[in-house]
Chains A and B, each alone.
Chain A
Amino acid sequence: MEPIASRLRRAGFAAVAFATALSPSAYDPAARRVAARQIYFSAWQILPGFTLVCAALSWVLIRIVLRISNDYGLSGYALEFTVRVLVLELIPLFAALFVGLRSGSAINTEVVLMHIRGDFDALQRAGRDPLRHELVPRVIGSAVAVTLLAFLNCAVALLLTYYEMYGASPWGLPQFLRITGEVFAPVAMVGLGLKTLLFGVAVAVIPITSALAVPRLQRMAAVAVLRGMVSLVLALVVIEGTFLAITYI
C-alpha cells in the first residue's frame, strides 16, 4: 500500500463524499433513512453521557485554571485562558476523538466487513450506489455528531466558566462578553468552524478509506481497523496542530 496514493484516495473520497452530501438529489428515502440512523447512533445516543463527562472535565479544568491564576495574581487572564484552551481547542478535539473511537471504529469494522463480503458489489449490481447509500450517510452522521458535541459542550463550558468566575450574578456579563468577544476573533471563529468540520469528516472518511484499502481477506479486517484508528488519531493531531500553528504562529 502506498501511503501517498492512499492519502490521495482519502482526499478524493472525502471530496466526493462532501460533494455528494451537499447535493439534495443524493437524499432519496433510503439514503435519508441510513443518514438518520447514523446521526442517531453517532450523536443522539452519546449526547447525554458525553455532555456529562465533558462538563465534569471542563469544570475540573476551569477550577484548576482559576485557582492557579489567582495564586499567581493573574486572575484577569483566567477567563481568556480558559476560553482559548477549553472552548477553542480541547473540547472540539475531545469530541472528535470520542466520536472517532466510538463511531469511527464501528464504521471501520462495518465497512471492512461489507468490503470483504462483497456487499458493495452486490449493491452496485442491484443498481444502488454504495457511496451515496452506505458511505456518505456515515460521513454525514459523523460530521453532525462531532459538530453537535463540540458546539454544545463549548456552550456548556462557557456557562460553567461564567458560573465559576462570577457565580449566579448577572453583573459579570459585560466583562464576560467583552473578553469572550476578544477571544472569538474572526480568525479564531473561522478556524473553529473549519476545524470542527474537518474533524467530523475525518472521523468517518479515514476509517472508510482504510477499510476499502485492504485486500478482501477475512484476516485483513483487524489490520484495516488498526490502520484506520491509527491514521484517524494522527490525522486529528495533524489538523489540530495545523490550526494551532495558523492561529498563534
Chain B
Amino acid sequence: MEPDSHVSPAIRHVELKAVLLLFLVAALVTGFVLYVLYARGAFEQTQKLILIADDSEGIAVGANLTFSGFPVGRVQRIELARNGKAKIEVEVPVKDVHWLRSTSVFTLERGLVGGARLRAFTGNLDDPPLPPDAEREALRGDATEQLPVLLARMRQVLDHIEHITADDSDLNASLANLRTVTARMSGRYGALGTLLGSDENAKKAIDALDRSNALLASLGGVSAKLGRTLDKTDQRVFGAGGVMDQTQKAVVQLNAVLGDARESLKKADAVLAAAQKVGANTASATEDLAALRAEVEASVRKIGSLIDEINRKWPFKRDTEIKLP
C-alpha cells in the first residue's frame, strides 16, 4: 500500500505556504527576543551606581530606581559587602543620568503592599553630576517597621484622650468653670464681676474708681495752683528785687556791719582795759566803804538817839517805835 494514497488531495503551493509559516515563526521568535532585549535595556549605554543599604529585603534584580515616580535605573546585581551591608548595583541609562546629581539622596522604602522601592531625590539639579561608579548610602524608609511604634503611640494618645474626656476629668471641670465664668461675664458687671468674684465687689471697685477719678480731678486743680505758687515763688525769690537779691544786699551790708562791729569791739576792748583800771580803783574804794559804813552806822545811831530824844520831847506822838532804814 502506497503511503501517499492516504494523504489528502494536492494543495496548491503547499510548500510555499509552509516556508512562509516557517519564516513567520522565525520572524516572531527573533522579534520577540529583540523586543525583550530592547525592553530590558540591552542596547542602552548605562552608568553604574552602587547603593549601600542595611537590608536589601524586598529588592530584586530588575527592580527600578525611580525619580519623581519615573524609573531612571534598574537593579543589576545585589550582593553582601565585606562590611555585612547589602550592596545594590544599579544601572542608570546615560540619557537619564542627568537627573541624579552628586548631592542626590537615595531611599529604600518598603510599603504595606508590593516589594521595596528605591527612590532618588535631587534637591538642586544644577549641582555637579553624579560620577560613574558612585557609591551612596540608601536611607531606609520602612512603613511596616514603623507600624508597631506607631500603634504604641496611638494607644498612648487614645489613653490620654480617654482620660481627658472622662466625666471626672480636669477638662470637664474646666469647662464647667468656664461655663460659670461666661455666665458671670454675661451678667450686669460683666468680666469685672467675674474677676472680683461677686457683683458687690464689682460695685465697690466701680465706686472706688469713681472716687479716684474725683480725687484725680481735684489733684489736678491742686497741682495747677501749686504750679502757679511755684511760679510766684520763683519770681519772688529769684526775680529782680526778690529775696535772693535783697539777701545779697543784706549780706553786703552785714559785711559792713561786721566791720563796724570789729571796730566797736576794738573800742570795747579799750573800754574794758579802762574798766579794768576802774575796777582796780573801785576795789580800793570799796575797802574805804567799810570805814564809811561804820561811820554811817555811828551817825545813824546818833540820829536815832536824836530822834528818840525828840520824840520824847515831841508831845503829839506817843509811839516810841523807831523804824530803821
Which A residues are within 8 Å of any B CB, using their own CB? 32-37, 39-41, 43-44, 47, 74, 76-77, 110, 114, 117-119, 122-123, 128, 133-134, 144, 147-148, 151-152, 154-155, 177-178, 180-182, 184-185, 189, 193
| The 8 residue pairs across chains A and B that have the minimum distance between CB atoms | A181-B39, A36-B18, A151-B28, A39-B18, A181-B40, A184-B36, A36-B15, A177-B39
Contact present for B64 and A178 (CB under 8 Å): yes
Contact present for A33 and B15 (CB under 8 Å): yes
B71 at the interface (CB under 8 A from A): yes
Contact present for A117 and B1 (CB under 8 Å): yes
A123 to B309, CA, bound (A): 233
A37 in contact with B14 given A114-B3, A122-B1 (CB within 8 Å): yes
Contacting B25 at CB < 8 Å: which of A35, A144, A154?
A144
Chain A binding surface SS class: helix
Contact present for A43 and B21 (CB under 8 Å): yes
A178 in contact with B71 given A37-B11, A77-B114, A122-B1 (CB within 8 Å): yes
Chain B interface, number of residues (Cβ within 8 angstroms): 32
A37 to B271, CA, bound (A): 183
Contact present for B17 and A114 (CB under 8 Å): no
Residues of A within 8 Å of B147, CB to CB, are none
A63 to B31, CA, bound (A): 26
Contact present for A184 and B18 (CB under 8 Å): no
Q: A117-B1, A185-B40 are in contact. List 19 more A-B contacts (CB 8 A).
A: A37-B8, A44-B17, A47-B21, A110-B6, A119-B6, A122-B3, A123-B3, A134-B3, A147-B25, A147-B29, A151-B25, A151-B28, A151-B32, A181-B38, A181-B40, A185-B61, A185-B62, A189-B33, A193-B29
A11 to B249, CA, bound (A): 153
Which B residues are within 8 Å of any A CB, using their own CB? 1, 3, 6-8, 11, 14-15, 17-19, 21-22, 24-25, 28-29, 31-33, 35-36, 38-41, 61-62, 64, 71, 113-114
Residues of A within 8 Å of B25, CB to CB, are 144, 147-148, 151
A177 to B39, CA, bound (A): 5
Contact present for B17 and A181 (CB under 8 Å): no
Contacting A148 at CB < 8 Å: which of B7, B15, B24, B114?
B24
A35 in contact with B18 given A117-B1, A144-B25, A154-B32 (CB within 8 Å): yes
A117 to B3, CA, bound (A): 11
A216 to B64, CA, bound (A): 62
Residues of B within 8 Å of A32, CB to CB, are 15
A110 to B190, CA, bound (A): 111
Contact present for B21 and A144 (CB under 8 Å): yes
Residues of B within 8 Å of A181, CB to CB, are 36, 38-41
A39 in contact with B3 given A178-B64, A178-B71, A180-B39 (CB within 8 Å): no
A36 in contact with B3 given A74-B113, A189-B36 (CB within 8 Å): no
A144 to B21, CA, bound (A): 8
Q: Count chain A CB atoms within 10 A of each CB in B8, B11, B32, B61 and give the residue with the most.
A: B32
16 A-B pairs in the complex with CB atoms less than 8 angstroms apart: A40-B11, A44-B17, A114-B6, A119-B1, A122-B3, A144-B21, A147-B25, A148-B21, A151-B29, A152-B28, A155-B31, A177-B38, A177-B39, A178-B64, A181-B39, A184-B39
Residues of A within 8 Å of B71, CB to CB, are 178
- Chain A residue nearest in CB terms to B5: A119
Residues of A within 8 Å of B36, CB to CB, are 180-181, 184, 189
Residues of A within 8 Å of B64, CB to CB, are 178, 182
Residues of B within 8 Å of A74, CB to CB, are 113
Q: Count chain A CB atoms within 10 A of each CB in B28, B36, B114 and give the residue with the most.
A: B36
Residues of A within 8 Å of B61, CB to CB, are 185
Distance (Å) between the CB of B63 and the closest chain A CB? 8
- Chain B residue nearest in CB terms to A120: B3
Residues of B within 8 Å of A110, CB to CB, are 6
Distance (Å) between the CB of B198 and the closest chain A CB? 64
Contact present for B40 and A184 (CB under 8 Å): yes
